[in-house]
Amino acid sequence: MGPWNRSRSSLLVGSAMLILAACDGSSPTQPEGPLAFATIHTGTSLGFPPIGEDVGTVIGDGDRWQARWQELGRTGPAPAVDFSREMVLLATGPGCCGETAIRSVGQNRGRVLVDVLSQASNNTICIAADYSVHAVKVQRVSGPVDFLVTKATKSCGG
């Protein structure tokens, strides 16, 4: 291989490495920044959240949403969601006068970030096991979903 071919090969390899280094995993077709969402349910449910649903879960189809709705102790049809364009984000937290709130949803570098405030009561004695729930519908996007939780305490009834 002559000097001309070696330098051309080096240039090609160097260019390929620059292109790969510039790729950060984000997709130009995916939105970046805040995603609009709408609350479809907030409240408490008796019992404990399902195993594996420590903080939040993503629901991407109607059958699973209806089943989870019934697990929440609700009757009738679950709130309407167009699963061809939307998905449900469901956050759970402490009960017994506690509150869970999805404060924002956004996308950054191909990841969906869900900001959750989880407040436990600091002055309540519980007589029944329950947990707080906040469900929102948001534009369906691909990529992993991270529930980022801020934990706090609050006074019950005040």
Strand arrangement of the beta sheet that strand 130-139 belongs to: 37-46, 130-139, 86-94, 56-59
Query: In 3-state terms, the chain is what percent helix, strand and coil (to 5)?
Result: 20, 40, 40
Q: Hey, is 124 helix, strand or coil?
A: coil
Position 107 pLDDT exceeds 80: yes
94-111 mean pLDDT: 86
Give the CB-side neighbour count of residue 140, counting CA atoms within 13 A.
10
Tens digits of residue pLDDT in 10-42 = 333 333 333 333 344 444 455 689 999 999 998
Tens digits of residue pLDDT in 36-85 = 999 999 887 765 555 555 678 999 999 999 999 998 888 899 999 999 99
Tens digits of residue pLDDT in 122-158 = 766 666 666 788 999 999 998 999 999 888 877 776 5
Q: What is the pTM of this model?
A: 0.74
